[in-house]
Amino acid sequence: MPVLPAEVRIFDYAVPLIIVGAGACGSVAALAAHERGVEVLLLERDPVPRGSTALSGGQIPAAGTRLQKKAGIDDTPEILEGDIIAKAEGQCDKAIARHIARESAKTIDWLAETHKLPLSCIDDFVYPGHSRMHMHASPSRFGAEHMDVLTHKVPGHYHRLPWPGRIHGLAVWSRHNFATPHILPLPASALPGRVPRRRSQIVQIGEITFANVHLSHGQLLNRRQLLRIAGALRGKPSAIIGDYNAVGPSLIPGFADVGPREATHFGADVVPFRLDRCLAHGLICSFAGTLDFGPSDHKPIVLDLQIAVARVRRHPLQRARRRLVKIRAAFR
């Protein structure tokens, strides 16, 4: 964006404060200034102010808020400051980290009490890298809930396969219409008291079959589950995608591990490991990456998959004839 020198610009009126961008930062700054009687001009580029804020999980870290106290969480700005600096591996501006941590409780209390933002303290989940439950969010903070609401908010087609007794489940959304996925039961542990039996959601989108999975953590069991899925896909262009805790290569015949080679989860909130994967058969993957953590404790993975065009093996006589045609063309 070009920056023009002030002396060559003449404006019809002046305001003491201009804020550029009406995302969370700009809007909250404008609200605070307005409350103190300052005339504010808030400039927004887009027709509707949304920004990254509208895409986010909406979880706001803060320490020492009244909501935390009500939930029995003992937290201090010093702990939050330490967590911010540790999460940034010491690379952030430490004075700003301290300032944010010190102002955080005041800001959340003000937004919740004065401006009635529907915030609550997340008291059942410690965010990766945090040593206290610092996060505050709106009531519908779970990904699964967001996704169910999504179907009513946006066009497109959505199917969720709930997992009894769990907040999460398997789900698929597409802009384009697709057949109702079918359910593939997977091998289960013989041990008593295990969680409900795992299933895969088999989804046909265009010519690609997707097996959406959340497999068991047992190393032998999840291999058996992968083999069952690979058998059900019957050699079609397909991808097995989702959460599977396979230590080492999966070695499923005909399938290549094309998912991003980076940690997508922290075991016990500490140990980083690659849990979200994609095995592909008959597909070319031109991009594999991850997005930042959203409301989930897994990083979403992003893949660009296309059907591999098989190289046609011609008969030697056909190959000789094609070569001859090329040579003749060259001498014409």
Ligand X SMILES: Cc1cc2nc3c(=O)[nH]c(=O)nc-3n(C[C@H](O)[C@H](O)[C@H](O)COP(=O)(O)OP(=O)(O)OC[C@H]3O[C@@H](n4cnc5c(N)ncnc54)[C@H](O)[C@@H]3O)c2cc1C
Look up residue 44 and give its two tokens: 């927004």
Q: Which of 55, 86, 150, 308 binds ligand X (CB under 6 A)?
A: 55
Stretch that binds ligand X, among 55-63, 147-155, 202-210, 251-259 (CB under 6 A): 55-63
Region of residue 272 (left: phi > 0; alpha: psi -120 to 50; beta: else): beta
> Could you say which residues in the range 1-30 bind ligand X, by CB under 6 A?
1, 20-26
Query: How far apart, in whole angstroms, are the C-alpha atoms of residue 75 and residue 101?
Result: 11
| H helix or E strand, kind and range, residue 324 | helix 316-331
Q: Which is nearer to ligand X, 169 or 300 (CB)?
A: 300
Task: Work out how close the CB of 51 gets to ligand X at its nearest, in angstroms, rounded to a whole number.
Answer: 3
Stretch that binds ligand X, among 57-65, 80-88, 205-213, 265-273 (CB under 6 A): 57-65
Look up residue 19 and give its two tokens: 């804020």
Cβ atoms of 186 and 227 closer than 8 Å: no
Task: Work out how close the CB of 286 gets to ligand X at its nearest, in angstroms, rounded to a whole number.
Answer: 22
Question: From the CB of residue 305, how many other CB atoms can be counted at a distance below 10 Å?
Answer: 20
Q: Which residue is nearest to ligand X (CB)?
A: 23
Stretch that binds ligand X, among 58-66, 160-168, 249-257, 303-311 (CB under 6 A): 58-66
Helix ranges, 114-208 (H): 143-153
Q: Which is nearer to ligand X, 56 or 131 (CB)?
A: 56
Q: Which of 30, 42, 59, 111 binds ligand X (CB under 6 A)?
A: 59
Q: Which of 15, 34, 38, 45 binds ligand X (CB under 6 A)?
A: 45
Does position 46 interact with ligand X (CB under 6 A)? The reply is yes
> Where in the chain does DSSP place strands (E)?
17-20, 40-43, 60-61, 120-121, 135-137, 157-162, 169-174, 182-185, 199-205, 208-214, 238-243, 256-257, 265-267, 271-273, 276-281, 283-290, 301-307
> In this structure, what are the phi and psi dihedrals at residue 67, rounded to the nearest 5 degrees?
-65, -40
Cβ atoms of 270 and 235 closer than 8 Å: no
Query: How far apart, in whole angstroms, are the C-alpha atoms of residue 242 and residue 215?
Result: 8
- Nearest CA among 36, 57, 53 for reference residue 44: 53
Stretch that binds ligand X, among 9-17, 44-52, 92-100, 223-231 (CB under 6 A): 44-52
Stretch that binds ligand X, among 45-53, 65-73, 191-199, 233-241 (CB under 6 A): 45-53
Does position 143 interact with ligand X (CB under 6 A)? The reply is no
Stretch that binds ligand X, among 40-48, 180-188, 240-248, 256-264 (CB under 6 A): 40-48
Cβ atoms of 214 and 170 closer than 8 Å: yes
Q: Which is nearer to ligand X, 49 or 129 (CB)?
A: 49
Contacts of 28 (CB under 8 A, 6+ apart): 107, 111
Task: Work out how close the CB of 297 gets to ligand X at its nearest, in angstroms, rounded to a whole number.
Answer: 12
Q: Which is nearer to ligand X, 130 or 277 (CB)?
A: 130
Q: Which of 218, 294, 297, 303 binds ligand X (CB under 6 A)?
A: 294
Q: Which of 30, 42, 51, 202 binds ligand X (CB under 6 A)?
A: 51
Does position 52 interact with ligand X (CB under 6 A)? The reply is yes
- Nearest CA among 247, 238, 306, 248 for reference residue 278: 238
Q: Which of 40, 56, 79, 138 binds ligand X (CB under 6 A)?
A: 56
Task: Work out how close the CB of 191 gets to ligand X at its nearest, in angstroms, rounded to a whole number.
Answer: 36
> Could you say which residues in the range 216-235 bind ligand X, by CB under 6 A?
none
Sequence length of the chain is 332
- Nearest CA among 177, 307, 161, 187 for reference residue 242: 161
List of residues contacting ligand X (CB under 6 A): 1, 20-26, 43-46, 49-53, 55-60, 292, 294-295
